Amino acid sequence: MSELSERFDTHDPGEKKVAEKLRCDACPVMCYIAEGRTGACDRYGNFGGRITRCDPLRILEHDRLVPFEGSEWDGNLVNTRRRFVSAMGAGTTYPDYKPAPFIVGQEVEGVDLVTVVTEGIFSYCGVKVKIDTDRHLGPETAVVRAQGEAVGHVTTAEYGSQMLSLGGVHHLTGGSKQEGRVTCDTLLALCNREPVELSIEGGASLVVQAGQPPIIDGKVEQRMRVGCGSATIGMFAKQWSGLVDEVVVVDDHITGVVSEHQAGKVIGWPDTGIRIVGRRSTPGRYFKVAEPGLGWGGTAIEDPLQILGPWNSTKGARPGLSMMMVSTTGEQFAYFELDDELKPVPKPFPERLKKSVELIEQNCEPALCTVLFVGGAGGSLRAGVVENPVNLTRSVQGLQTYVTVGGAPVYVWPGGGITLMVDVTRVPANAFGYVPTPALVAPIEFTLRRDDYLSLGGYAGEIRTVEDVLARGGEYWNARAEEAASPGNPWPPEAQVEVARLARTIR
């Protein structure tokens, strides 16, 4: 019995048929399913006395314009015969004594290729979420909750983005049952590009959806920062020269001051006698001007003047001196002039400076949430591909085997195992499923040369053509559906040929 079943209330595999119920063996839960009903995951049902995969097997069609030369033209502008049997709707190999559900042979540019497809059960998977925002979402390592359950944590803040790490073995299988279920629900929704509500301990509430702007404490985030405060000064100091006496770019990471900054110095910007309350790193660059928060430039402040100390008249401060303060996204901006007591007084924002704020805004990219599914194709999954599973790992690491998730290219981590990451927006809709062990189900395909496949100990007798798959389907009796591949994804067999060429060049 697999480790998957250990924490789920399952039972020993009994008869294949009990009264009118059939046993599904596609995961360790081993549901007994009555005629006309589906099992606990809704992926398999008992229809006509057969365990049936409820969704169709999805075959992707990669369009390509018919080339002018080198091939016979059949009269169509678009050649749609570049098919790829994806693992979506394929079914699983679990338990692993049997070959993957589909092993498909195809010849591409004179190269004989094989694609092995299966819906992998990932009980040790997670997602990495990148949220483009200046706002402080919560302290690093803070617990991230969904429906009140811990599903992950806040990890590093990168340039203009806050990273979350959700799922993984400790939340999926290591906590309470409820924690595992909610984690699985959250990962599934995120991978299928649905919105998910998250709350961060000691921080913000979020709505996260792959490919959409984040909603932070009820407010839709619009823009990703152009850079830190110092970088912003570097980019735009020239445009501000002659229009204003001082510019402060307020930022939680590095607040920049143009008169002191190297970028100001090289264009001869005069001193202004300004003082910034914060930790001076290098000239014109300040750390820790305020606590992080949801205010100006990712700080907690709503009044930018809070970060200023008294002005120094011996270093250039004088009545009438003008100053613009702006955030790294250009969303917050204000204009001040010093009065007779060298106190900054808010004034209407001058027309002459509006263009420079717009320039910051124009240089900001739209804020998005990005979701990467991270999974490890474990030994059991690999056993459905080749008889000696470690051979598959080595061939993936050696670029002999090209891995895709629902036809989307993946990043395979160096080091042991087959740990991969895929951008869920490149995977066709509703490609991910779940089983209540709990675990996520993700399509995975391995494409490699037929001779390599056979030398790795592949299941030679199981190789079929695409036409045969379309005509006869597989052991789970489901329909076949042809659909357009996600634009931008390469046709995996051709991508494999490219990878093989590259590998030969490197060798």
Q: Which residues of 305-325 are buried (b: 16+ CB within 10 A; e: fewer)?
A: eebbeebeeeebbeeebbbbb
Least gap, CB of 464 to ligand SF4 (angstroms): 23
Task: Kindly tell me which of 436 and 492 has the beta carbon lying closer to ligand SF4.
Answer: 436
Q: How far is the CB of 139 from ligand SF4 (least distance, A)?
A: 38
Q: Which residue type does 255 have?
A: T
Number of residues engaging ligand SF4 in binding (CB under 6 A): 13
**Residue 440 beta carbon to ligand SF4: minimum distance, rounded to whole angstroms:** 12
Q: Which of 39, 101, 229, 407 binds ligand SF4 (CB under 6 A)?
A: 39
Q: Is 229 in the site for ligand SF4 (CB under 6 A)?
A: no
Q: How far is CA 36 from CA 44, 206, 244, in A?
A: 11, 40, 75
Identify residues 10-29 at the interface with ligand SF4 (CB under 6 A).
24, 26-27, 29
**Residue 440 engages ligand SF4 in binding (rule: CB under 6 A):** no
Q: Which residue has the tokens 């002659």?
A: 242
Alpha-carbon distance of 51 to 477, in angstroms, equals 8
Instruction: Supply 472's token pair.
Output: 């006869």
Q: How far is the CB of 49 from ligand SF4 (least distance, A)?
A: 16
Q: Annotate 372-385 with b (16+ C-beta within 10 A) or e (fewer).
A: bbbbbbbebbbbbb
Smallest distance from the beta carbon of 435 to ligand SF4, in angstroms? 5
Q: Are 385 and 371 in contact (CB under 8 A)?
A: no
The correct pick among 41, 127, 151, 431 for binding ligand SF4 (CB under 6 A) is 41
Residue 435 sits in the site that holds ligand SF4 (CB under 6 A): yes
Residues 6 or more apart whose Cβ sits within 8 Å of residue 317: 272, 273, 274, 311, 338, 342
To ligand SF4, the closest distance from the beta carbon of 10 in angstroms equals 9
Strand partners, 250: 327
For residue 384, state whether it binds ligand SF4 (rule: CB under 6 A): no
- Longest C-alpha distance within the chain, in Å? 95
Q: Which is nearer to ligand SF4, 181 or 450 (CB)?
A: 181
Q: Is 187 or 250 the residue whose CB approaches ligand SF4 more closely?
A: 187
Cis status of the peptide bond prior to 438, with omega within 30 of 0: yes
CB-wise, 307 or 435, nearer to ligand SF4?
435
User: How far apart (Å, rounded) are the C-alpha atoms in residues 274 and 257?
Assistant: 9
Preceding peptide of 13 cis, ω within 30°: no
Task: Say if residues 214 and 195 touch (Cβ distance below 8 Å).
Answer: no
Distances (CA, A) of 388 to 360, 418, 441: 56, 15, 23
Dist CA 225 CA 217 (whole Å): 19
Count of beta carbons in the 10 Å neighbourhood of residue 89: 27
By beta-carbon proximity to ligand SF4, the closer residue of 232 and 380 is 380
Structural element, H or E, at residue 80:
strand 78-85
Of residues 436, 473, 474, 493, which one binds ligand SF4 by CB under 6 A? 436
Residue nearest to ligand SF4 (CB): 39
Closest distance between ligand SF4 and the C-beta of residue 44, in Å? Answer: 4
Nearest approach in angstroms of CB 30 to ligand SF4 is 5
CA angle 220, 223, 229 (to 5 degrees): 130
Closest approach of ligand SF4 to the CB of residue 151, in Å: 21
User: What is the per-residue binding string for ligand SF4 in 166-205, x denoting contact by CB under 6 A?
Assistant: ----------------------------------------
Pick one of 22, 30, 144, 290: the residue that binds ligand SF4 (CB under 6 A). 30
Taking CB under 6 A as the binding criterion, the range among 37-45, 251-259, 292-300, 308-316 that sits at the site for ligand SF4 is: 37-45
Return the number of the residue (10 or 328) whose C-beta is nearest ligand SF4.
10
Which of 11-19, 36-44, 154-162, 412-420 is the region at the interface with ligand SF4 (rule: CB under 6 A)?
Answer: 36-44
Nearer to ligand SF4, 11 or 279 (CB): 11
HEC string for 443-495: EEEEEEEHHHHHHCCECHHHEEEHHHHHHHCCCCCCCEEEEECCCCCCCHHHH
Closest distance between ligand SF4 and the C-beta of residue 43, in Å?
Answer: 5
- What is the DSSP secondary structure assignment for residue 11, as one 8-state letter? -
Please report, as residue ranges, which positions from 82 to 101 form the binding site for ligand SF4 (by CB under 6 A). Answer: none
Do the beta carbons of residue 82 and residue 64 sit within 8 Å? yes
44 sits near ligand SF4 (criterion: CB under 6 A): yes
Position among 5, 7, 21, 40 found at the interface with ligand SF4 (CB under 6 A): 40
Smallest separation (angstroms) from ligand SF4 to the CB of 133: 37
- Work out which of 8, 22, 43, 389 binds ligand SF4, going by CB under 6 A: 43
Query: Which residues are near ligand SF4 by CB under 6 A?
Result: 24, 26-27, 29-31, 39-41, 43-44, 435-436
